[in-house]
Structure 1
């Protein structure tokens, strides 16, 4: 069970967190291609461009 008081909860909610660009790290994006999961960063330039142009849809 979590024993965080209301004061601590409001203090955490009020805290503003900011990261500088130098403090960030890149997020590795993976995708499934031909049954294998591969990082998009390992794709050649053309395949990375195709991946960026993908459009997601929700089937009804």
Structure 2
């Protein structure tokens, strides 16, 4: 069983193998990466509620 310290060490040891993941969201009719938002807009994005639409 892994502990939190072991997981943290594993992540830091393998950091060079990880790839950056860009999250895009639709803003004013076009898609834009969240990382380019200002600090206020990033906060709004974190507070958004996600939902799943029920199948008819």
Give the TM-score taking structure 2 as reference length.
0.62
After superposition, the CA RMSD in angstroms is 1.7
Q: Secondary structure at the match of 1:48?
A: helix
Measured against aligned partners, the alpha-carbon deviations of 1:26-60 in whole angstroms (never above 9, x if no partner) come to 20010001101101011001101111111111234
- 5+ residue gaps, structure 1, are 1-18
- 5+ residue gaps, structure 2, are 1-12
The structure with the larger Rg is 1
Give the TM-score taking structure 1 as reference length.
0.59
Report the number of matched residues. 42
More helix by share: 2
List structure 1 segments (4+ residues) > 3 angstroms apart after TM superposition.
none
